[in-house]
Amino acid sequence: MIFGYSCSAYGNYLNLVALSLYTLHVTGGPLGVGIVMALRLAAGFLAGMRAGRLVNRFDRRHLMIGTDVAQALAMVLLAAGPRHTSVLVAAAVVLGAGNTLFTVALRSSVPEMVGQDQRTRANGLLVSGRAVGTVLGFGSAGLIVAVGGFPAAFLINAASFLVSAASLVLLRLPTKACADDRDGATATPVRGSLLALAGPVVLAMVCVRGGDAFGSASHNVAMPLYATELDPADPAFVMSQFWASWAVGSLLAHQLVRRWAAGREPGERAFALGTCLMSACFVLVFVVPAGPALIAVALVAGLADGFTEIVYTSRLQALPDEQRARLFGLSATTETAGFATGMVASSALLEALPTQAVVAMFHGVAALGAVGLLAAARSRRHGPPRTSEPEAR
Contacts from 170-175 at CB under 8 Å and sequence distance 24+? 171/1, 171/61, 171/113, 173/1, 173/112, 173/113, 173/114, 174/112, 174/113, 175/59, 175/60, 175/61, 175/105, 175/108, 175/109, 175/112, 175/113
* Nearest-angstrom CA–CA distance, 107 and 85: 33
How much is the average pLDDT of 2-11? Answer: 88
Residue 177: pLDDT over 80: no
Other C-beta atoms lying within 10 Å of the C-beta of residue 390:
15
For residue 304, name the pLDDT band (cuts at 50, 70, 90). very high
* Nearest-angstrom CA–CA distance, 91 and 161: 14
Other C-beta atoms lying within 10 Å of the C-beta of residue 320:
17
Residue 173: pLDDT over 80: no
* Average pLDDT value for the chain: 85
Lowest mean pLDDT among 80-94, 174-188, 189-203, 214-228: 174-188
Q: What pLDDT does 233 receive?
A: 83
Residue 159: pLDDT over 70: yes
How much is the average pLDDT of 333-352? Answer: 91
How much is the average pLDDT of 74-79? Answer: 94
For residue 323, name the pLDDT band (cuts at 50, 70, 90). confident
* Torsion region of 149: left, alpha or beta (phi above 0 gives left; psi -120 to 50 gives alpha): left
* Nearest-angstrom CA–CA distance, 83 and 215: 34
pLDDT in tens, 109-138: 998 888 888 888 889 889 888 888 888 887
For residue 179, name the pLDDT band (cuts at 50, 70, 90). low
Q: What pLDDT does 384 receive?
A: 53
Rounded to the nearest 10 degrees, what angle do helices 235-261 and 119-170 cross at?
110
Architecture category of domain 190-385 in CATH = Up-down Bundle (1.20)
Between 226 and 1, name the one with better pLDDT. 226
Q: What is the largest CA-CA distance in the chain?
A: 65
Residue 174: pLDDT over 90: no
Q: What pLDDT does 313 receive?
A: 93
Domains 1-177 and 190-385 equal at CATH topology level: yes
Q: What pLDDT does 187 receive?
A: 41
Architecture category of domain 1-177 in CATH = Up-down Bundle (1.20)
Q: What pLDDT does 194 receive?
A: 63
Residue 383: pLDDT over 60: no
* Nearest-angstrom CA–CA distance, 296 and 270: 22
Domain locations along the chain: 1-177, 190-385
How much is the average pLDDT of 272-282? Answer: 95
Residue 373: pLDDT over 70: yes
Residue 72: pLDDT over 70: yes
Q: What pLDDT does 281 receive?
A: 96
Residue 148: pLDDT over 50: yes
Lowest mean pLDDT among 162-166, 246-250, 279-283: 246-250
How much is the average pLDDT of 320-335? Answer: 89
Q: What pLDDT does 235 receive?
A: 80
